[in-house]
C-alpha cells in the first residue's frame, strides 16, 4: 500500500523509493517490488546509461489501486494519534 502511494506522483529510482518508505529494509523493499511487478501493479525501466539506472512506476492497474487506496491512507494519517493512543493502552 505504501509503495503504491510513494509512486503515485511518478517514477522513482530504488534509492529514492527506499528513502520515501521510512524504516523499510532492502530485503523487504526488493520482495515487495518483485511481488508488485509480478502482480502487474508496477513497471520497471532500465536505462542504457553506465551504470544502468532502474526506475519503478505505477502501471495503469497500479495507478487505479493507488487512487483507490488514497482515501484510506488519508484517514490513517488523520487518525494516527488516536490509533497509537489506543494501542499504547493495551
What are the pLDDT digits (tens) for 23-51?
Answer: 999 999 999 999 999 999 999 999 988 88
Just give the CATH number of 2-88: 1.10.10.10
What does pTM read for this prediction?
0.82
89 pLDDT more than 90: no
- The rounded distance, in Å, linking the Cα atoms of 34 and 73 is 23
Q: Kindly provide the b/e burial profile for residues 68-88, where b requires at least 16 CB atoms within 10 angstroms of the residue's own CB.
A: eeeeeeeeeeeeeeeeeeeee
The values of phi and psi at residue 55, to 5°, are: -130, 155
Q: What is the pLDDT of residue 64?
A: 97
Burial of residue 59 (CB within 10 Å: 0-12, 13-18, 19+) is: middle
| Residue 90 confidence class, pLDDT cut points 50, 70, 90 | low
Our measurement of the distance from residue 88's CA atom to the centroid of its chain's CA atoms, rounded to an integer in Å, reads 27
Amino acid at each position: 500500500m505504501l509503495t503504491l502511494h510513494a509512486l503515485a506522483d511518478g517514477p522513482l529510482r530504488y534509492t529514492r523509493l527506499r528513502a520515501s518508505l521510512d524504516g523499510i529494509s532492502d530485503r523487504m523493499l526488493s520482495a515487495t517490488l518483485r511481488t508488485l511487478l509480478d502482480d502487474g501493479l508496477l513497471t520497471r525501466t532500465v536505462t542504457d546509461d553506465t551504470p544502468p539506472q532502474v526506475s519503478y512506476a505505477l502501471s495503469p492497474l497500479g495507478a487505479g489501486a493507488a487512487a483507490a487506496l488514497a482515501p484510506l491512507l488519508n484517514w490513517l494519517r488523520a487518525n494516527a494519534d488516536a490509533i497509537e493512543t489506543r494501542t499504547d493502552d493495551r
